[in-house]
Amino acid sequence: MNGKSDVLVIGAGVIGCAIARELSKFKIKTTLLEKEVDVGSGVSKGNSGVLHTGLYYPKGSLKAKLCVEGRLMFPALAEQLDVPYRLCGKHVIARTEEELEDLENLKAVGEGNGVEGLTIISGEELKKRETRLDALYALYSPVAGIFPPYLFTIALAENALNNGVKVHVNTKVSAIKQENGGYKVTTNQGDFYADFVVNSAGLYADKISAMVGLDDYKLYPCRGEYLLLDKNCGDLISSMVYPVPPKIAGVLGVHLTPTLDGNVMIGPTEEFIDSREDTRTTKEKVQQLVEGAKDLLPSIPLNQIIYGFAAVRSKITPPNEKTSRDFIIQEDLENFINMIGMESPGLTSSPAIAKLIVQMIQKKMDLKEKTDFNPIRKRTKPVSEASRTEQAALIKADPEYGEIVCRCEHVSKREVLDALDNPISEKTVAAVKYRTRAGMGRCHGGFCLPKIVEILKEEYGIPPEEIKLKNLDSVLFIGKTKDLRESGQSE
Amino acid sequence: MSEFPCRDVDLVVVGAGPAGLAAAISAKKNGVQDLIVIERNDWLGGILPQCIHDGFGLELFKEQLTGPEYAQRYIDELKERGISCLLNSMVLEVTPEKKVFVASPEGLVCFNAKAVILAMGCRERTRGQICIPGTRPAGVFTAGVAQNLINLRNVMVGRNMVILGSGDIGLIMARRLTLEGAKVHAVVEILPHTNGLPRNIQQCLIDYDIPLLLSHTVTEIHGQNRVEAVTISPVDENLKPIEGKEKKIPCDTLLLSIGLIPENDLSKNFGVKLSPVTGGAVVDETLETSVPGVFACGNALHVHDVVDFVTLEAEQAGKSAAEYVLGKAQKAERVPVEAGDGVRYVLPYSIRRGVDVELSIRVTCPGENVSVGFFDGETLVKKKQFRKVHPAQMINIKLKGSKTVAVNALKVEVVGK
């Protein structure tokens, strides 16, 4: 028996977590459900990690309004939640005189949406800022930023949890029924009851909506693939570099995004697919990314690729439609809010969406602010971000800081232990990766995996056959070394 | 007034694998008294303790030793000579002034070194680096990681294997996994020839009836949570998969033995010039890098075929570092050595005129009855005939100082068919 909540949020992507955190400011019982074993397991971890400015969305749209609002809210929120970010700015580059008109149009749309500081600069000016880039003109947006989206999502969820929200991972909703003026939500972990339900299920929002009989929505899964360059590519670009967007609905074009750690991301692609779980990378799209990257930056060192990944967007815009449809955020049923088509700029908009949802709930429910809401959440200080003096102090206070588990990213055992002790996720290798960066570097887990296995065995008593990569079914090992021979299972 | 201890030291050796151990011993033998070896793991010997197969030491000891046995000889000598070693200690940074920052559970320490030997070894190329398309399930391991897990951590990685790449670790692991009761369905190699030593092909594959598929590669990984299959495909002469010839092999594990890359994150960050071909430092015949007083050896310099050659090279680095520390190193003008046709790389990258040197040469493709020639412009300086050459087998050629007294530059080429 899971008890009754005032508000139940389905889906712990960045938007669901932002909503849960916003709701945790009030004297109500909030529950957050997530079908995967960790928060932010879908597109919230597989995106460019960009704080968008609001250049691309028609004036008056929810996308335009929430993107600009969310961006303005983000820095203060990031400070409270101890999420690193950098307002590195963004250049949309024009390679032909005709594209200058596109830049001017983007600038006009952006200014209409309230985007500050937009300027069109010459190719020479661009060259001074980005020495490796050749273009005739560029639209510069100084307020665009970058941050690790998974850290942000985790931080929101942890802060919500610390302020009383119940977070249930590995909890998949299978049915929703209106009952006694509220909702009964059936899951693989039993039934949940709530007065108010927020459907923040992202890629599955249409399916969740259909569970209450609202089956008019259809989402079109659209895969985006990325390539990641080694962090020694940090001096390639200092800002985000975008082409003029191709004339396809909602498509920004293959772009280059620096990361805080010095990597460069190439992507994403756009490909409508049949299966929502199909996060494969493909030969064709890798080739497209390579060519797109060379087109933007001919000197890009493609031998520095360390990883390829993909995630699936939830688009409400059908494949052949010319203009991208807006977010749908509405109370489609009494005390049931649907959020449909939450694609880009959903990450940037998430703080503003959370505010909007709370306002919508406030109209129906008396929300009293808590006096003891704690907006502050601290992550374990990464030893790699500390100065030498700070490192010395950290290790002196806690020797686990002196044991470096991940050699590529310089992640200490303290950080790994704290990631495994996190209050939300199962103890998977991925939970460590997304919290600490151990396994995100150029060896992609080669050196740290055996050490993490050792820690799971020694510190938590988890035998090898129970160690999971990313979810409960992604078993990493079959057992101990002699097991196959002794069990007679050998082939 | 720093908040952590700083210590002056004559020599810091980064890494206690076979290269670091031999370099430290050699430096001590050659007169360096105050030296320290820094090792990230909590054991000495680097990769050797997980290499429980034999075949080590044939060159140096004329014996078939296992990895741990080979390492032990040097560990014992290190201890006998009273060389101090910090275990579980990670070098975070080396500066151009040769300050070496080391983190360990004991604390952060800065060593002000007169000389540094870089012996960090190498790392394995991963799935991401060669962009194998498909899903990203559990069950994809590099061969060395699988070896570490099985031999050192008592963890078995899977039941049904495909191995991509015929490098020596992949071959050794094909046998090891078979002995552990797993089924190795195939070793798949994109090139028309193997990258492993001939003795490993015989002893690890042929002796166990493990199929070797040359000119094939893995074109897709399947399985959402755990590997369920891989698609393999033959490749054409440009190494491109041939459409329509794919074949799906059910398996739960894909091991990758697709190349080793010298580990030089530290080196790059303090300005050591690296070769784009080897990924290791550019060194002269003393193994000194572009940063004076900093030497490189072992697999951090270039990937070696057998450990015996790592040891020999490291001994040279130790000797050179000793000469530098003791002020015996002579400044001299050097002439460049360049790889020409048929040669992937030559070490060292420059030599002193008139000094006897030994050059290490790796050819680009296998050949029979060919010669390796040293040219100064059009002038042939030296030529040596080989019955067989192979990229997996380093060629070592001694060049007498008398031959290089007046050369301006050297280019090394494979000549004749």
Judged by DSSP in three states, A408 sits in coil
Q: What are the CB-based long-range contacts (under 8 Å, 24+) for B147-151?
A: B147/B50, B147/B51, B147/B172, B147/B173, B147/B176, B148/A450, B148/B50, B149/A449, B149/A450, B149/A453, B149/A477, B150/A481, B150/B176, B150/B177, B150/B180, B151/A481, B151/B49, B151/B50, B151/B51, B151/B52, B151/B176
Separation in Å, CA of A326 to nearest CA in chain B? 31
- Alpha-carbon span A362 to A360, nearest angstrom: 5
Length of chain B: 417
Q: Does one domain contain both A109 and A183?
A: no
Asked if residue A488 belongs to a domain, the reply is no
- Given A293, A315, A337, the domain boundary residue is A315
Cα torsion through A75, A80, A82, A85, rounded to 10? 0
Q: Are residues A292 and A256 in the same domain?
A: yes
Chain A interface includes B367 (CB < 8 A): no
- B123 vs A404, A443, A482: nearest CB: A443
Kindly state whether residues A254 and A356 are assigned to the same domain.
no
Range(s) within chain B of domains with CATH label 2.60.40: 334-415
Co-location of A351 and A476 in the same domain: no
Count structural domains, chain A.
Answer: 3
Residue A99 and residue A78 in one domain? no
Residues A157 and A138 in one domain: no
What is the per-residue pLDDT across A302-320, written as a single tens digit (0 to 9) for each?
999 999 999 999 999 999 8
Whether B108 contacts chain A with CB within 8 A: yes
Interval A34-80: pLDDT, tens:
999 999 999 999 999 999 999 889 999 999 999 999 999 999 999 99
Burial B92-124 (b: 16+ CB within 10 A, else e): bbbeeebbbbbbbbebbbbbebbbbbbbbbbbb
pLDDT tens-place values along chain B, 417 residues long: 468 999 999 999 999 999 999 999 999 999 999 999 999 999 999 999 999 999 999 999 999 999 999 999 999 999 999 999 999 999 999 999 999 999 999 999 999 999 999 999 999 999 999 999 999 999 999 999 999 999 999 999 999 999 999 989 999 999 999 999 999 999 999 999 988 888 899 999 999 999 999 999 999 999 999 999 999 999 999 999 999 999 999 999 999 999 999 999 999 999 999 999 999 999 999 999 999 999 999 999 999 999 999 999 999 999 999 999 999 988 888 999 999 999 999 999 999 999 999 999 999 999 999 999 999 999 999 999 999 999 888 999 999 999 999 999 999 999 975
Q: Does A257 map to a domain?
A: yes
CATH code of the domain containing A125: 3.30.9.10
- For chain A positions 348-387, those within 8 Å of chain B (CB to CB) are 383
Residue A490 within any structural domain of the chain: no
* B139: contact with A, CB 8 A cutoff: yes
CB B71 within 8 Å of CB B51: no
Bridging pattern class, strands A255-258 and A264-267 = antiparallel
Whose CA is closest to B256, among B394, B119, B390, B131? B131
Return the residue of B nearest to A384 by Cα. Answer: B92
Which of residues A364, A379, A394 is at a domain's end?
A: A379
Q: What is the pLDDT of residues B18-32, one digit of tens each?
A: 999 999 999 999 999
Question: Quick one: DSSP state of residue A42?
Answer: S
CB pairs under 8 A between A and B: 176
Query: What value of ipTM does the predicted structure carry?
Result: 0.95
A69 and A47 housed in the same domain: yes
On whether the CB atoms of residues B367 and B361 are closer than 8 A, the answer is no
Q: What is the pTM of this model?
A: 0.95
3-state secondary structure A217-266: CCCEEEEEEEEEECHHHCCCCCCEEEECCCCCCCCCCCEEEECCCCCEEE
- Tell me the per-residue pLDDT of B79-135, one tens digit each, with 9 for 90 and over: 999 999 999 999 999 999 999 999 999 999 999 999 999 999 999 999 999 999 999
**HSE-CB for B251 with a 13 A CA cutoff:** 27
Question: CATH for B334-415?
Answer: 2.60.40
Q: By residue range, what is the domain housing residue A116?
A: 86-145+220-315
How many Å apart are CA A438 and CA A449, to the nearest integer?
Answer: 9
Angle at A36 between CA A165 and CA A157, to 5 degrees: 30
Chain A residues lying within 8 Å of B181, measured CB to CB? 484-485, 489-491
Residues A286, A228 share a domain: yes
Does residue A407 share a domain with residue A353? no
Residue A33 maps to a domain: yes
- In the stretch 268-327 of chain A, residues with CB closer than 8 A to chain B read 277, 279-283, 286, 305-309
CATH number of the domain encompassing residue A169: 3.50.50.60
Helix intervals (H) in B125-249? 143-152, 168-179, 198-200
Element at A360 (helix H, strand E)? helix A346-362
CATH topology of domain B6-123+261-325: FAD/NAD(P)-binding domain (3.50.50)
Q: What number of helices (H) and strands (E) belong to chain A? A: 13, 21
- The boundaries of every CATH 3.50.50.60 domain in chain B are 6-123+261-325, 126-258
Q: Is residue A263 part of a domain?
A: yes
User: Does the CB of A453 have a partner CB in chain B at under 8 Å?
Assistant: yes
Q: Are B375 and B410 in contact (CB under 8 A)?
A: yes
B216-222 and B229-234: which strand pairing? antiparallel
Which chain A residue lies closest to B47 (C-alpha atoms)? Answer: A447
Residues of B in contact with A482 (CB under 8 A): 156, 180
| Domain assignment present for A44 | yes
Contacts of A291 (CB under 8 A, 6+ apart): none
- CA dihedral (B122, B125, B126, B128) in degrees, to 10, reads 120
Is beta strand A411-412 parallel, antiparallel or unpaired with respect to A404-406? antiparallel
Whether B215 and B235 have beta carbons less than 8 Å apart is answered as yes
Q: Among B128, B152, B183, select the one facing A307 at the smallest CB separation.
A: B128
Residues from chain A contacting residue B268 (CB–CB below 8 Å): 232
Pick from A393, A396, A478: CB nearest B158 = A478
Chain A contact set for B220 (CB, 8 A): 280, 283
- Are A248 and A394 in the same domain? no
Q: Between helices A429-436 and A149-162, what is the axis angle to 10°?
A: 100
Catalytic residues of A: 52
Sign of CA dihedral A16, A17, A18, A19: positive
Q: How far is CA A13 from the centre of its chain?
A: 7
Residues A258 and A400 in one domain: no
Q: Is the CB of residue A455 less than 8 Å away from at least one CB of chain B?
A: no
CATH code of the region B126-258: 3.50.50.60
* Same domain as A231, residue A134: yes
